[in-house]
């Protein structure tokens, strides 16, 4: 059961880029729509579980939600500059570096030479996989819709995104609070942050409401990841959740029509295999 819960974020979060790509809209509309969907999901979870809220839970949840907005908005911008099949794998690799190292060093989730040896090997495999899936062939300078790729802008957006996501996950791990209780104040912080972040930059139309679907997916993945982190720790739990790049990368190619040359398809397949092996290794570390 723990393994099933741990893999839910992989499928839920791996589908977000595809769903938002299909729903349309710009990065700001996608961010606001997603936070509305996440807020609705959190209200349902709160009504069903009826957890106890304290001032500390509300504060941590709200602040972590604000940092999440920075991470998600940056990721949406990166996907629009790079395409889903390039932006998400790179985002995954950068997040894995930050969160896995934080879990291992700051939260002491790895103990002894064996854990560090296997953990570092798994991390290397995951990062290589993310790199390969995002590697470009010079012959392919166009993405879906004949829009020129802007890798530099996308990478800058990902740096900001990684920092935002990093603080979000590290903060809630450090606080070690009831996952069901923190979801509602977290979603309030997300919604407030999205509204402030996009103030004067957004048109509220059908694209905002369409993107609430991705918010529901995110809410499901987030709830399962918070439960998983409590059981297996940040280093393993977060890394397993990020295996969704397999879904987002292949989906970006086959569902969103992002162009890939034969060389890039080979890179993508190899990259996905590296990610799978890295995830299996992390799971083995916890089970053994």
pLDDT exceeds 60 at position 89? yes
pLDDT exceeds 80 at position 285? no
Q: How many residues does the chain have?
A: 288
Share of the chain above pLDDT 70, in %: 91
pLDDT for the residue numbered 141: 55
Give 212-238 pLDDT, tens digit per residue. 999 999 889 888 887 887 777 766 776
pLDDT for the residue numbered 144: 43
pLDDT for the residue numbered 199: 86
Q: DSSP secondary-structure letter at 244?
A: G
Side-chain half-sphere exposure of 52, counting CA atoms within 13 A: 3
Cβ contacts of 112 within 8 Å, gap of 6 or more: none
Give 255-272 pLDDT, tens digit per residue. 887 778 888 888 888 988
- Which pTM does this prediction carry? 0.81
Looking at residues 18-24, what average pLDDT do you find?
Answer: 89
pLDDT exceeds 80 at position 12? yes
pLDDT for the residue numbered 246: 79
pLDDT for the residue numbered 9: 85
User: Which residue, among 9, 76, 61, has the nearest Cα to 239 in the 3D structure?
Assistant: 9
Give 153-212 pLDDT, tens digit per residue. 999 999 999 999 999 988 988 888 888 899 999 999 999 999 998 888 888 999 999 999
pLDDT exceeds 90 at position 29? yes
pLDDT exceeds 70 at position 42? yes
Give 121-158 pLDDT, tens digit per residue. 988 988 898 888 778 777 665 444 444 468 889 999 99
User: Which residue, among 223, 224, 182, has the nearest Cα to 51 in the 3D structure?
Assistant: 182
pLDDT for the residue numbered 142: 47
Q: Which two tokens stand for residue 120?
A: 């570092």
Distance, CA of 32 to CA of 30 (rounded, Å): 6
- Band of residue 62 on the pLDDT scale cut at 50, 70, 90: very high
Distance, CA of 8 to CA of 276 (rounded, Å): 15
Distance, CA of 13 to CA of 15 (rounded, Å): 5
Instruction: Output phi, psi for 139, to 5 deg.
Output: -75, -15
Instruction: Kindly report the average pLDDT of the chain as a whole number.
Output: 84
């Amino acid at each position: 059961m723990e393994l099933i819960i741990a893999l839910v974020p992989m499928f839920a979060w791996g589908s977000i880029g595809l769903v938002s790509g299909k729903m349309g809209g710009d990065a700001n509309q996608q961010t606001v729509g997603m936070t509305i969907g996440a807020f609705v999901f959190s209200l349902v979870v709160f009504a069903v579980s009826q957890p106890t809220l304290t001032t500390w839970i509300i504060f941590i949840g709200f602040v972590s939600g604000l940092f999440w907005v920075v991470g998600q908005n940056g990721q949406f911008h990166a996907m629009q500059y790079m395409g889903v099949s390039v932006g998400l794998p790179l985002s995954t690799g950068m997040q894995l570096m930050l969160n896995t190292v934080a879990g291992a060093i700051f939260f002491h989730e790895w103990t002894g030479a064996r854990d560090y040896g296997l953990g570092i090997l798994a991390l290397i495999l995951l990062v290589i996989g993310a790199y390969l899936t995002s590697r470009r062939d010079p012959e392919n300078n166009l993405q879906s819709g004949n829009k020129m790729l802007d890798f530099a802008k996308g990478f800058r957006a990902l740096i900001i995104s990684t920092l935002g996501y990093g603080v979000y996950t590290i903060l809630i791990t450090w606080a070690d609070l009831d996952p069901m209780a923190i979801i509602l104040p977290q979603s309030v912080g997300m919604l407030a942050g999205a509204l402030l972040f996009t103030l004067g930059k957004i048109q509220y139309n059908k694209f905002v409401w369409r993107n609430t679907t991705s918010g529901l997916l995110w809410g499901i993945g987030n709830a399962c990841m918070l439960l998983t982190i409590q059981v297996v720790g940040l280093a393993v739990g977060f890394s397993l959740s990020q295996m969704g790049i397999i879904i987002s990368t292949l989906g970006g190619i086959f569902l969103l029509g992002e162009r890939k040359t034969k060389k890039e398809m080979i890179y993508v397949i190899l990259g996905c295999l590296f990610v799978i092996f890295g995830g299996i290794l992390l799971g083995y570390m916890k089970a053994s």
